Structure 1
Amino acid sequence: IVAQLQDYFPDASFMVFNFREGDKRSQIADLLSLCDMTVMEYPRQYEGCPLLPLEMIHHFLRSSESWLSLEGQQNVLLMHCERGGWPVLAFMLAGLLLYRKQYSGELKTLEMVYKQAPRQLLQLLLPLNPQPSQLRYLQYISRRHLGSEWPPSETPLYLDCLILRVLPLFDDGKGCRPVVRVYGPDPSNPANRSSKLLFSTSNNQKHVRHYLQAECMLVKIDIRCRVQGDVVLECIHLSEDFVREEVMFRVMFHTAFVRSNILVLSRDEMDMLWDTKDQFSKDFKSEVVFLDADAVIPDLTTV
């Protein structure tokens, strides 16, 4: 394929973006480099989400725009993914099309890209539908012209609690036993950009509350941890044996785009299992409540 491309574009220079499976440089990157192609590699996920941190997305967009805009050169940009990387490649391509204003409308653009592969492929690769979080980040990209700084600075916040309204019922309608986990970079160590588990409801029977059917209309879960930048929040139901877990939803967001210290998400704005959305009421809603970063935080061990 590489030889055919070079024959078809004999005077072109090639840049390849590869979304790799692991953390090490991939074999295909070495092979393409031998063919005089410039190769840049990115991970294929961020804490299980087929997305990348906003700073990494920005690097990809700027590099692509610069490469395609060089005057007097015939430059070709290729995108390649390794096993399991199609969802993040599709998102990044949609982001590039919006960034260059070749398409408009986040949902329309993302769906157009996903139609280039069988719909079943996405469901085979991912247990959760990633499009709600992907659309959120595409909206971040589309908003870049509204402010002078993009990406915006990584606003530190104090994630106070999660409020859930009209929870679904599990265990044959007995109620719900929600467990929350929060992932992101450690605000106390800004030099380290890697993400980690920042908060987790203990799976200990003493700490996980079982909400009965009548209580599931409104549930408040205290979190109380500092967050900054790209954050993944997931909520699961813990079964009666305190071992089996069932994902209720997952969301990825960036703290710089949180307005008025609250992130309100409807059912359609959360990543859910493909076949379980109808189990949730249309009134199901989650509210992620924050305080300013200088809030006084009690000394709690949460992880």
Structure 2
Amino acid sequence: MSLFRRLFHRRPPQGLVEISDNIFVFNHCFSTDFFEEDELKPYIGGILKQLIGRYSIDSFMVFNFEGSKKDNQIACIFSDFDMSVMGYPRNYEGCPLLTMEMIHHFVRSSESWLSLGQDNFLLIHSEQGGWPVLAFALAALLLYLRRYNNERKALEMVYKQAPPGLVEHFSPLNPAPSQMRYLKYVSRRHMSPEQWPPADRMINLNCVIIRGVPNFDGKGGCRPILQIYGPDPFAPNDKSTKVLFSTPKTSDSVQLYTQEDSEIIKFNARCPVQGDVVMECISLDENFEHEVMVFRVMFNMAFIEDNLLLLDRDQIDILWDTKLRFPVDFRVEVPLNSCILYTFFTCTFHLHM
């Protein structure tokens, strides 16, 4: 092949961005301007025709981070070109992240496909609002493939592919702390490949202790409630999330904590948890009519060491403009007790093909 032809083939077709070698993303995913339904098909179809002019249809593995619509227009568009699509959700209980099981499937599938030959490519698309989880998934893949060895640099590199403020546009909370946590989970694979991902286990979440009262009432206090979401540890075949714990919105259960009078806030959850867990702390007003998100975190129980999860204010997902409402020494402590039940990650979730 001549030098000119090699250069021609290395240049991504118009409408695609090459994030890394052989990893293409549709460029409209980096924008707030999304196509109407009648515009999307000719747009994607035009790009696919360019690709098919250069490569075989069989050269591409296609991923899509889906929206909320049940009828998947993206899958229909690709099916017209005899290309199947693997679909992933764009959030997990509001967090723009994938579960560890889905991450495992995504990175393993991608690695296997790319390793088959230099003319194999990944073609990745996200529907409207999917940029935050797409950015995370790309960073996770680059770390898994060892194309980056620093979690923060990988995530920042992907973020920079889009205009400033795009994550803020689609996510009311800054998702970077939880995304960084999961990227570190991915990086641990290189430390002990034979033990990654680690055995999943059921754990008793005893309580949640907050040290340092955040200011969410404008007077140095808050009326917090706690909610914990995750899979039912007693129903391993049910992949849906459940409310594992929730503070009742009653005057007996919700009280005012102030920075002047209180040093800690404690929630006695006493619930078994397993796998990927989302924990939200919400502050209510004095009439229990309005609420504001204090923080949200997502974590995986299999990666917690020494039965204790410790988080400071830089390790929780918060509203973009609320960091100064938290004391500098703010901490969240989640003590745990191990249970006997152990399981292993298996890629059994249903992909939309």
Considering the TM-score relative to the shorter chain, is it more than 0.5?
yes
Whether the 8 Å contact between 1:18 and 1:39 is mirrored in structure 2 is yes
Mark the CA change 1:23 to 1:62 in structure 2 (over 3 Å): closer, same or farther.
farther
- State the distance in 2 between where 1:11 and 1:272 align: 43
Partner of 1:268: helix, strand, or coil? Answer: coil
The answer to whether 1:285 aligns with 2:321 is no
Q: Write the deviation string for residues 195-226 of structure 1: whole angstroms up to 9, x where unpaired.
A: 11111001112211222333332222111111
| Correspondence for 2:38 | none
Q: CA deviation at 1:88?
A: 0.6
Is 1:221–2:267 an aligned residue pair? Answer: yes
The 5 Å alignment of 1:101-250 reads 101-147=146-192, 148-173=194-219, 175-250=221-296
Q: 1:274 aligns with which of 320, 332, 343?
A: 320
Question: What is the Cα deviation at residue 131 of structure 1?
Answer: 0.4
**Contact 1:15–1:78 at 8 Å: present in 2 too?**
yes
Alpha-carbon distance between aligned partners in 2 of 1:277 and 1:70, rounded to the nearest angstrom: 46
Match of 2:90 in 1: 44
Q: Please give the alpha-carbon distance, in whole angstroms, between the structure 1 residues aligned to 2:128 and 2:238.
A: 27
Q: Deviations over 1:248-302 (max 9, x none)?
A: 11110000111111100011000000011122122111111111226xxxxxxxx
Question: How far apart, in 1, do the equivalents of 2:261 and 2:71 lie?
Answer: 50
Q: Please tell me whether the aligned partners of residues 211 and 265 of structure 2 are also in contact (alpha carbons under 8 angstroms).
A: yes
Structure 2 residue matching 1:214: 3-state secondary structure: coil
In structure 2, the residue matched to 1:259 is 305
Match of residue 30 from structure 2: none
Distance in structure 2 (CA, Å) of the matches to 1:46 and 1:172: 31
Tell me how far apart the structure 2 counterparts of residues 243 and 287 of structure 1 sit (CA, whole Å): 28
By how many angstroms is 1:12 displaced?
6.1
Q: Secondary structure at the match of 1:155?
A: strand
Instruction: Indicate the larger mover: 254-263 or 203-212.
Output: 203-212
Shift of 1:23: 6.9
State the alpha-carbon separation in 1 of the partners of residues 216 and 238 from structure 2: 39
State the partner residue of 1:297: none
CA contact (8 A) 1:23 1:43 kept: no
Give the distance between the partners of 1:156 and 1:208, measured in 2 at CA: 29
Moved more, 179-188 or 151-160: 151-160
**CA gap 1:4/1:183 in 2 versus in 1, 3 angstroms:** same
Q: TM-score, normalised by structure 2?
A: 0.80
Q: Following TM superposition, by how much is the alpha carbon of 1:40 offset from its aligned partner in structure 2, in angstroms?
A: 0.7
Give the RMSD, CA atoms, in angstroms. Answer: 1.7
* One-letter amino acid of the counterpart of residue 232, structure 1: V
Per-residue deviation, 1:139: 0.2
**TM-score, scaled to structure 1:** 0.92
Q: Could you list the per-position Cα deviations for residues 138-178 of structure 1 after superposition, in whole angstroms to 9, with x for gaps in the alignment?
A: 00000013332221121110111111111112323152211
Aligned length: 294
- Mind listing any 5+ residue stretches in structure 2 that lack a counterpart? 1-46, 341-353
Larger Rg: 2
Conserved? CA contact 1:261–1:290, under 8 Å: yes
Aligned residue among 75, 78, 84 for 1:29: 75
| Counterparts of 1:228 and 1:85, CA distance in 2 | 26
Equivalent position amino acid for 1:135 in 2: M
Runs of 4+ in 1 over 3 A off after TM superposition: 8-12
- Structure 1 residue 37: Cα displacement: 2.1
Contact 1:20 1:41 in 2 (8 A): yes
2:122 aligned partner: 77
Amino acid at match of 2:111: E
